[in-house]
Structure 1
């Protein structure tokens, strides 16, 4: 049985179809005092051997929903609980950045582990966060899915990552697409909001560029990278990412920078997703 968090309903439905498993009815409510309730009515009567909870933790409320859904299916007698975090919130806080700061990824991983027999998460920003789960979570690579929506007629394409850390993602997308060069920008982060982009030596004049990253949050770094490409005479620029967080005015920033199209997956349901990670998740289930 597939059980959906409120932020992952489309992905949960797609996964249910791929696995040919029933999609549970789930109720989400909020009490007058602000407390949440996520319930799975009918699960006890269905008597499934396994419940797969699919929930991107895009907010603190979404984290609490996961814990409640885990507890609800356990209470109903389900023997195996698998928790799928298509997008793991707080996953980028994998270290104590200053004295007295928490390792937030560890804190949320510990909480989610208590109610789950297995955890899957899609392309975590830092792979090490999987070690915070008990047992260790499985990182599912969905980068190859990002090649599917790209135009078939890209001109001498360059697959470009905003920093060296995302080169593997760019290579996976390029390899799946079947043609193109790889390069990256040097990115220096001066603070939580200030990032300096240093151009690489790649020749993009008259070529199509696909900028690949694991997550686009505010779009500021990505739009700076696109501006550099525009100065170098790039033809078309496409932006693709696994997790289209796209907070605040990110879409506007990227569009104003000259991006032809923004592609993402359904790990975060933001309206730009064009490809589902359901097939790669199904392969691990």
Structure 2
């Protein structure tokens, strides 16, 4: 049975269809003192698949409660699916006395599950923080699906060389184009300097790819540099469309024609589902 956190209801429903597993009716409550309660329906043994993108502290707590509820009903196996794992980018101590937050939340999640699947974490090494078997699932290929069929001499660009594999995957799935990346140098905790690639983008359609778009600042700056080079159409794709605060507006002002994301984080731009990829891994 599939049990969904409140932030992943659409994805969980799609996953139920893809995997032919029943979808449990989960209820979410909030008490006057602010405490939360996520309750799961009764089921007899078998496997419980908890699907929850941990986009907030509340989502983390719901996940832990659903794991525990599954055990209470006697689940023989609990599989935890993290379409988006919150705190995954805090994968090291940035200063003396800082926690490794990704490790802390991974250990907490491990206490209530037998196995973990997470979609395109910021670093695959995140999986080593769990105390149970954990697997990274690559859903980047799904990002090619919503792209127009008529891209002109396309260029698939990554904001830095660290995410070049995503650009390559999207290009390969699309079936045409070249790949390249921007040189990115971090000046401070909030300031990044971007240097354009040498690829000629004049009159060519460009697809900028990344694992996550959070504030949109780096991505919009990259697109603005492309506009200075008489680029054709610009499309932005990402696995995790966090799009915090005014990120979508920044991208529009930079000249992005369309933004496509998956449903690991359910947003208006979530044009494609990662459910088939998760179903294959289950």
TM over 0.5: yes
Residue 211 of structure 1 pairs with residue 208 of structure 2: yes
Report Cα offsets for 1:28-67 as digits up to 9, x if no partner: 1111111111111x32xx3140000000000011001110
Residue 115 of structure 1 pairs with residue 115 of structure 2: no
* TM-score w.r.t. length of structure 1: 0.98
Shift of residue 126, structure 1, vs aligned partner: 1.0
Q: Distance in 2 between matches of 1:69 and 1:239?
A: 34
* TM-score w.r.t. length of structure 2: 0.99
Shift of residue 190, structure 1, vs aligned partner: 2.2
Q: Distance in 2 between matches of 1:4 and 1:64?
A: 13
Report Cα offsets for 1:130-166 as digits up to 9, x if no partner: 1001123100000000000000000000000000001
> Counterpart of 1:141?
138
Question: Of residues 35, 46, 49 in structure 2, which corresponds to 1:49?
Answer: 46
> Counterpart of 1:31?
31
Q: Distance in 2 between matches of 1:75 and 1:189?
A: 47
Shift of residue 10, structure 1, vs aligned partner: 0.2
Shift of residue 108, structure 1, vs aligned partner: 0.1
Q: Distance in 1 between matches of 2:135 and 2:214?
A: 23
Shift of residue 270, structure 1, vs aligned partner: 1.2
Residue 83 of structure 1 pairs with residue 77 of structure 2: no
Residue 153 of structure 1 pairs with residue 177 of structure 2: no
| Paired residue secondary structure (1:28) | strand
> Counterpart of 1:103?
100
Q: Any unmatched runs of 5+ in structure 1? A: none
Q: Does structure 1 conserve the Cα–Cα contact (< 8 Å) formed by 2:82 and 2:119?
A: yes
Q: Distance in 1 between matches of 2:71 and 2:133?
A: 20
Residue 275 of structure 1 pairs with residue 272 of structure 2: yes
Within-5 A mapping of 1:213-228: 213-228=210-225
Q: Distance in 1 between matches of 2:91 and 2:44?
A: 37
Q: Distance in 2 between matches of 1:26 and 1:48?
A: 17
Residue 67 of structure 1 pairs with residue 64 of structure 2: yes
User: Deviation above 4 Å: which 4+ runs of structure 1?
Assistant: none
Q: Distance in 2 between matches of 1:136 and 1:118?
A: 5
Q: Distance in 1 between matches of 2:235 and 2:159?
A: 13
Q: Distance in 2 between matches of 1:175 and 1:78?
A: 40
Shift of residue 220, structure 1, vs aligned partner: 0.2
> Counterpart of 2:181?
184
Q: Distance in 2 between matches of 1:116 and 1:250?
A: 34
| Paired residue secondary structure (2:259) | strand
Q: Distance in 1 between matches of 2:45 and 2:223?
A: 49
Q: Distance in 2 between matches of 1:209 and 1:133?
A: 37
| Paired residue secondary structure (1:146) | helix
> Counterpart of 2:191?
194
Q: Distance in 2 between matches of 1:209 and 1:174?
A: 11
> Counterpart of 1:7?
7
> Counterpart of 2:16?
16
Q: Distance in 1 between matches of 2:35 and 2:191?
A: 36
Q: Any unmatched runs of 5+ in structure 2? A: none
